[in-house]
């Protein structure tokens, strides 16, 4: 019995840590050549709400994703403008679960289309799907619904979606005038 109590107390202390302190630091910004964000258009025409999810309105989803993409991609100052079209297709904001037995996870699903602003052309023929799940941390071990508000869960998912979007752009940075050899070197340096 004392071991179980000690384990519980350790988990309780860890759960008090913020998610940010348990997450690895962000990788250095990547080379995106002539990329500069023109329009960041996010829609949520009919997002699917996952089972056991807290509620979020389409406006709340849109605002969170727009803000995260702006923060992540607006700093790029290339010489050509590109437009992003994002459609939020589904979400799940975990409710409190039964610790260690049923700890629901939060998730966000969206599709992305990238346009060359000057040419008025899509760069990816088919929309690219991004699926993000919350990170494993002390608080998500019990279910993030215990420790985070729906807004906090959504902000975390939106930030992760923006990071995944940036990674996809880096994987396709030839669209932005980055030489293929340089693109390979950057991937190797970042450990990808």
Average pLDDT, integer, range 106-113? 96
Q: What is the pLDDT of residue 13?
A: 32
Strands 35-43 and 48-49: unpaired
Q: What is the pLDDT of residue 51?
A: 87
Work out the pLDDT band at 191, boundaries 50, 70, 90: low
The CA-to-CA distance between both ends of the chain, in Å, stands at 45
Q: What is the pLDDT of residue 105?
A: 82
Q: And the tokens for 185?
A: 């070197």
Using alpha carbons, list the distances in angstroms from residue 65 to 59, 96, 134, 143, 187: 10, 23, 15, 22, 26
Using alpha carbons, list the distances in angstroms from residue 80 to 34, 106, 126, 178: 5, 35, 22, 13
DSSP string, 150-183: HHHHHHHHHHHHHHHHHHHHHHTGGGGT--HHHH
35's CB contacts (< 8 A; 6+ apart) are 73, 76, 78, 80, 82, 169, 173, 175, 176
Tell me the domain boundaries of the chain. 30-190
Contact status, residue 15 vs residue 8, Cβ threshold 8 Å: no
Work out the pLDDT band at 190, boundaries 50, 70, 90: low
Of the candidate CATH numbers 3.40.50, 3.30.70, 2.60.40, 3.30.1490, the domain formed by 30-190 belongs to 3.40.50
Average pLDDT, integer, range 143-155? 75
For 46-89, the pLDDT digits (tens) are 999 998 899 999 999 999 999 999 999 999 999 999 999 999 99
Strands 107-116 and 128-133: antiparallel
For 1-56, the pLDDT digits (tens) are 333 223 222 322 333 333 333 333 343 467 899 999 999 999 999 999 998 899 99
């Amino acid at each position: 019995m004392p071991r179980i109590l000690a384990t519980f107390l350790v988990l309780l202390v860890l759960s008090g840590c913020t998610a940010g302190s348990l997450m690895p630091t962000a990788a250095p910004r990547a080379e995106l050549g002539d990329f500069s964000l023109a329009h960041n258009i996010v829609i949520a025409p009919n997002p699917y709400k996952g089972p056991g999810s807290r509620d979020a309105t389409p406006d709340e989803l849109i605002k969170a994703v727009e803000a995260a993409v702006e923060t992540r991609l607006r700093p790029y100052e290339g010489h050509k403008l590109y437009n992003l079209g994002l459609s939020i297709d589904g979400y799940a904001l975990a409710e409190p679960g039964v610790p260690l037995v049923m700890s629901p996870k939060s998730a966000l699903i969206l599709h992305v289309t990238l346009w060359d602003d000057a040419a008025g052309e899509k760069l990816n023929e088919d929309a690219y799907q991004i699926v993000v799940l919350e990170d494993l941390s002390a608080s998500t071990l019990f279910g993030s619904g215990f420790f985070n508000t729906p807004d906090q869960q959504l902000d975390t998912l939106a930030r992760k979606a923006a990071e995944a979007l940036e990674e996809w752009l880096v994987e396709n940075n030839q669209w932005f005038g980055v030489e293929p050899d340089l693109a390979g070197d950057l991937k190797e340096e970042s450990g990808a």
